[in-house]
Amino acid sequence: MLHGQTGYLLENTEVLINVISTRELVQVERLVKSIDEDAFMIISNVHEVQGRGFNLEKEYIEK
């Protein structure tokens, strides 16, 4: 979750960046639209992701 600002009206907003599999895309799109019909989404192919949960050795955070 990032803090952002709209380009035209300069309003503060929250920005969510998410990496999902192509299998999950349709379900996530439907979920987002059910929450916010006017949500702005950028969908792009990603060739590599590094960091917690995406390395060969997964680390799990206990809740």
Q: What pLDDT sits at residue 50?
A: 83
Is the distance from CB of 32 to CB of 18 less than 8 angstroms?
no
Q: Whats the size of the chain, residue-wise?
A: 63
* pLDDT at position 60: 64
- With residue 27 as reference, give the H or E element that holds it: helix 25-35
Q: CA 14, 22, 47: angle at the middle one, nearest 5?
A: 85
CA gap 2, 23 in Å, rounded = 25
> What is the pLDDT at residue 55?
66
Question: What pLDDT does 11 receive?
Answer: 96
pLDDT tens digits, one per residue of 2-61: 999 999 999 999 999 999 888 999 999 999 999 999 999 999 999 888 877 776 665 666
pLDDT recorded at residue 45: 93
